[in-house]
Structure 1
Amino acid sequence: MIQVRYSSPPSSAETATTADLRDAFLVDDLFVAGEVRGTYTHDERMVIGGAVPGTGQLDLPAWTDVLGADSHLARRELGVINVGAAGHVVVDGEKFELDHLDGLYVGRGSEVSFTGADAAFYFVSAPAHATYPTRALSHAEVEPVALGSAQAANERSLFRYVWGQEIETSVLQFGVTVIADGSVWNTFPPHLHERRTEVYCYVDLAEDDRVFHLMGRPGETRHLVLRNREAVISPPWSIHSGAGTGSYAFIWAMAGENNTYTDLVPVAVDDL
Structure 2
Amino acid sequence: MHRRYASHPNEVKQFDTERLRTEFQISDLFRPNQLELVLTHEDRFIIGGAYPVTEDVTLVTDLKELGVSFFLERRELGIINIGSTGSILVDGNEYVLNSKDCLYVGMGSKEVIFKSDDPANPAKFYLNSAPAHVKFPTTHTTLAEADSSALGSIQNSNDRTIHRFIHEKGIQSAQLVMGMTQLKEGNMWNTMPAHVHPRRMEAYMYFDLPEESVVIHLMGEPKETRHLMMRNEQAVISPSWSIHSGVGTSNYTFIWGMAGDNKAYADMDQVAMKELQ
TM class by smaller structure: over 0.9
**Aligned-partner Cα distance in 1 for 2:193–2:154:** 14
Match for residue 242 of structure 2?
Answer: 238
Match for residue 207 of structure 1?
Answer: 211
Pairing 1:175–2:179 present:
yes
1:226-251, Cα deviation, whole Å (9 max, x unpaired): 11110000000000000111121000
Kept in 1, the 8 Å contact 2:74–2:107? The answer is: yes
Pairing 1:142–2:142 present:
no
Kept in 2, the 8 Å contact 1:154–1:183? The answer is: yes
Match for residue 8 of structure 1?
Answer: 7
Match for residue 92 of structure 2?
Answer: 93
Which residues of structure 1 form unaligned runs of 5+?
A: none
CA RMSD of aligned residues (A): 0.9
**Residue type matched to 2:160 in 1?**
R
Report how far residue 143 of structure 1 moved. 4.3
**Residue type matched to 1:107 in 2?**
G
Kept in 2, the 8 Å contact 1:31–1:52? The answer is: yes
1:39-98, Cα deviation, whole Å (9 max, x unpaired): 000001011000111121111014212112121101000000011111111111111111
Match for residue 45 of structure 2?
Answer: 46
Kept in 2, the 8 Å contact 1:156–1:178? The answer is: yes
Report how far residue 140 of structure 1 moved. 2.3
**Aligned-partner Cα distance in 2 for 1:139–1:192:** 27
Match for residue 114 of structure 1?
Answer: 114
**Aligned-partner Cα distance in 2 for 1:209–1:94:** 39
Kept in 1, the 8 Å contact 2:147–2:170? The answer is: no
Pairing 1:162–2:166 present:
yes
Secondary structure of 1:144's aligned partner: strand
Match for residue 76 of structure 2?
Answer: 77
Report how far residue 166 of structure 1 moved. 3.2
Secondary structure of 1:214's aligned partner: strand
**Residue type matched to 1:66 in 2?**
E
Secondary structure of 2:154's aligned partner: coil
Q: TM-score, normalised by structure 2?
A: 0.96
How many residues align structurally? 271
Moved more, 60-69 or 102-111: 60-69
Which one of 242, 260, 265 corresponds to residue 256 of structure 1?
260
**Aligned-partner Cα distance in 1 for 2:50–2:172:** 25
Give the share of equivalent positions with the same residue, in percent: 46
Q: TM-score, normalised by structure 1?
A: 0.98
**Residue type matched to 2:113 in 1?**
S
Kept in 1, the 8 Å contact 2:147–2:165? The answer is: no
Kept in 2, the 8 Å contact 1:142–1:159? The answer is: yes
1:11-60, Cα deviation, whole Å (9 max, x unpaired): 12211100010000001111100100110000010110001111211110
Kept in 2, the 8 Å contact 1:190–1:266? The answer is: yes
Kept in 1, the 8 Å contact 2:203–2:256? The answer is: yes
